[in-house]
Chains A and B, each alone.
Chain A
Amino acid sequence: MKTVEEIKAILSSIETNETMYSLLDQTDIPNVKRMMDEAEPWLAARAIFALSRLGGDESHNIILRAATDERSEVRIAVAASCEILPDAISDTVLNSLIEDSEPGVKKFAIKSITKTSETRLKEKLRAFSREETNEPLRRIAEEKILQIYEEN
């Protein structure tokens, strides 16, 4: 089990890569969670990306709670991590994050929806692609629907 400082040193890369996450293991989850208390939002967001790679119930519960974190940087990390989370977890968080008040969070929530996402979420996406008033966001939703359709 590494200290918080050791974990921070590992995860503080400027340009990210998968290697840094591979240096952590399940025993590090409690101290990765503590990184979420960092004053700098990017470090808290980085912890989310690490937890999504570490997996397991403890990590997933932290990620589920982080979906309502007041820092948009953290919610974006949750949304972007959904691509590698189990469907049960990603469906839950994406259902809320697709309705987030921040366009940036919505953007990454939409991008993380896949053909295996639950029907209710895909229906929300379809409605979004018709009704969203933010033009660039609506286009992203349309592209995502086309992508899901093509995958089918």
Chain B
Amino acid sequence: MSLIRGVLLAGKFRTHHELNSMSREDRRNTLIVELSNRTSQSIGHFQAMDDDKLSGVGAVFIFILISRIRTDLELKTMSDDDQRNTLIVEMDIQTRLGINTLQGFSNLELVLIGMGKLDHRDLEVSAYIRGVLLAGKIRTQHELNSMSVEDQRNTLIVELTDHSNQSNFQSFNNFELAGMGAVFVFLLHARIRTKQELKTMSADDQRNTLIVEIDAQTGLGVRLLQRLTNMDLVRLGLGVEQREIFTHPVPFQIPALRIHFKSLLAISDALRSFITIQFEAMHELFATGQVQTALGTIEDLSGDATLTLLLNLQVGDCLLGNSTNADQNQLFQNRNGAATDDVVVYIVSTLTSTTGNPIGCSTFPVGQPGCVITVNNAEWLTAHEVAHVLGVRHVCEVPACTAGQSDNLMFPNVGWTNTPPNLSQAEFATMINSNLTPIT
């Protein structure tokens, strides 16, 4: 996991808005220059590191600096190894895990421990209140070592009360508090809002401001971002990859229909966002009818020269139960990692049939369930096509559609008038009764 973006923000080397206009290479080079200026090591030393290693070294440097374990001047005389060893000693003092154990952790894991993860005094999943107090420079590492969890909580409550127009923070649990604190610290240190501006805002105002900023950064859309926790919004802002945040773990006792995505277009960040949005929209909607879906594999087929011409796919009539043509048969043979009853969603550039250019098509060869979609703004396109795969038909056909039918996912056009669109109990029943849907 590369967190170069997060390191540049935490170190205040660049603002959130500056980072939005920088390429990945620019961000990497900026961090290399900053680290070589602020440690005993050369640009060449850092250039030899890959992004993961570089961001880990950067995270250790920033952690030691902002938690006031060492000063700027002291850090300038130290190598990255010196800094790692210093952090290991500090983490031992904090956690008593032992030097040998701590040496087995990566740089990033060490920093996360410093932020409150795996705290040996707390067997529950960490709330990261400690991390918020450190990142916000509210307390130092050594001060926190002598504070109880309750002291840390109360300190954060006082800070949040002082830096918002809200006064009921005591009513929130540690997870909620840490999330609100993380949003506050992110907005401040990424220089999205000033302290004075934050003082006039509620925690909800601050969250909504961050959602707008993360939308500008990622293009994921406000609706999707509104479903995330505060901490996940901050993680996105720090550069954590979207797939780490959006993959829905489905409890093992609930069987889920696995949906795989295989793309003939090269998988860029933008395409990954598209896949995420499509899957999340479908997952949320289907879950309301007890149809559980799980994200399977995401495969980039763009490098397969034998599939090049299928990028612009010829399809037959995309009517439920119709047979497929040679293009579709060749494409649907690609089922790496998919079990017999899994559904594969293929992503192509264009679809062409005798009646025009469908943007989705759900006819599939016998025994190879799947559908094909193109990249566009129709958020529930995958949901619509997968519902077809599971046996659901259009709610009507134009021009015979009546008012209100466009609220339904199975309206034949993309102009859904209710978002998310509806599915009736009968339509959910059809999906649940499909041979492909695992039995609960």
Supposing A42-B376, A103-B308, A137-B309 touch, asked if A14 and B359 sit within 8 A by C-beta, the answer is yes
A76 to B308, CA, bound (A): 15
Flag if B349 contacts A13 (CB, 8 Å).
no
Q: Is residue A86 within 8 Å, beta carbon to beta carbon, of the partner chain?
A: no
Q: Closest residue of chain B to A106, judged by CB?
A: B309
Question: Which B residues are in CB contact (< 8 Å) with A104?
Answer: 309, 311-312, 349-350
* Segment of B191-199, B220-228, B293-301, B409-417 in the binding face: B409-417
Sample (22) of A-B pairs whose CB atoms are under 8 Å apart: A9-B413, A12-B413, A12-B414, A14-B385, A15-B358, A19-B399, A42-B357, A42-B376, A49-B357, A72-B350, A76-B352, A77-B356, A80-B352, A83-B354, A103-B308, A103-B309, A105-B312, A107-B314, A108-B314, A111-B314, A136-B306, A137-B309
Q: Is residue A66 within 8 Å, beta carbon to beta carbon, of the partner chain?
A: no
Question: Which B residues are in CB contact (< 8 Å) with A77?
Answer: 352, 356-357
A45 to B353, CA, bound (A): 13
Q: Is residue B262 within 8 Å, beta carbon to beta carbon, of the partner chain?
A: no
Flag if A17 contacts B309 (CB, 8 Å).
no
A-contact bits for B395-428, CB 8 A (1 contact / 0 none): 0011100000000000011110000000000000
A23 to B401, CA, bound (A): 14
A140 to B325, CA, bound (A): 14
Q: Closest residue of chain B to A83, judged by CB?
A: B354
Which A residues, 73 to 125, have Cβ-Cβ distances below 8 Å to chain B? 73, 76-77, 80, 83, 103-105, 107-108, 111
Q: Is residue A152 within 8 Å, beta carbon to beta carbon, of the partner chain?
A: no
A135 CB, min distance to chain B CBs, angstroms:
9
Question: Which B residues are in CB contact (< 8 Å) with A150?
Answer: none
Question: Which A residues are in CB contact (< 8 Å) with B359?
Answer: 14, 42
Taking Cβ atoms with an 8 Å cutoff, the residues of B that contact A are 306, 308-309, 311-312, 314, 318-319, 349-350, 352-362, 374, 376-378, 381, 384-385, 397-399, 412-415
Flag if A15 contacts B309 (CB, 8 Å).
no
Q: Is residue A151 within 8 Å, beta carbon to beta carbon, of the partner chain?
A: no
Q: Closest residue of chain A to B406, judged by CB?
A: A9
B387 CB, min distance to chain A CBs, angstroms:
11
Q: Is residue A64 within 8 Å, beta carbon to beta carbon, of the partner chain?
A: no
Flag if A15 contacts B361 (CB, 8 Å).
yes
Supposing A19-B397, A19-B399 touch, asked if A14 and B356 sit within 8 A by C-beta, the answer is no
Flag if A42 contacts B314 (CB, 8 Å).
no
Beyond A14-B358, A73-B350, 4 additional contacts (C-beta under 8 Å) are A19-B399, A72-B349, A103-B309, A108-B312
Q: Which of B306, B376, B384 has the most CB of A within 10 A?
A: B376
B323 CB, min distance to chain A CBs, angstroms:
15
A50 to B414, CA, bound (A): 17
Question: Which A residues are in CB contact (< 8 Å) with B398?
Answer: 10, 13, 19-20, 23
Flag if A107 contacts B358 (CB, 8 Å).
no
Question: Which A residues are in CB contact (< 8 Å) with B413?
Answer: 9, 12-14
Flag if B384 contacts A14 (CB, 8 Å).
yes
B371 CB, min distance to chain A CBs, angstroms:
10
A140 to B413, CA, bound (A): 33
